[in-house]
Amino acid sequence: MPAYDGGQFNPPAPVATVSLRDSASGKTVTDVPMLIDSGADVTLLPRTRVDELAISTDQNHTYELMAFDGTTSVAKATELDLIFQRRVFRGRFLISNQAVGFLGRDVINHLALTLDGPALSWEENKPVQK
């Protein structure tokens, strides 16, 4: 069971590591930290890690985001593979300037995750094989 991250977050928070892959070239970056954030409508990837793939962003289309306090910002998007829990999530992702990304509901709604706060760990619930 992956442990919560108490180094970058106080109180500790559930952070997963994912891989990002350029589906055209196969180039992959690993160990990308992502906060498991059920409050995030969509997933945001750390720009510095996306830049390592040297893939293009959609220059013609931006998305407006709204924070909890109502402030807005604009994010660009790119198309790639996000690999998490042995699954490939292929599609459009937003890019953030923060060092840690956010796994939003466009990804986590496809998984059954348990956040065990007292144990400061999280895990995916696997379906029981019959």
Catalog residues that contact other proteins under the rule CB under 8 A: 35, 37, 39-44, 47, 51, 63-68, 71-73, 77, 83, 86-94, 96-98, 102, 104, 106-107, 110
Is the Cβ of residue 25 or residue 90 nearer to other proteins in the bound state?
A: 90
Is the Cβ of residue 64 or residue 118 nearer to other proteins in the bound state?
A: 64
Closest to 61 (Cα-Cα) out of 97, 91, 94, 89: 94
Q: Which is it for the CA torsion 60, 106, 53, 88, positive or negative?
A: negative
**Token pair belonging to 107:** 């990804």
Least distance CB 70 / other proteins (angstroms)? 10
Is the Cβ of residue 6 or residue 87 nearer to other proteins in the bound state?
A: 87
Question: Which residues contact residue 92 at a Cβ distance below 8 angstroms, ignoring those fewer than 6 apart?
Answer: 77, 78, 79
Least distance CB 110 / other proteins (angstroms)? 6
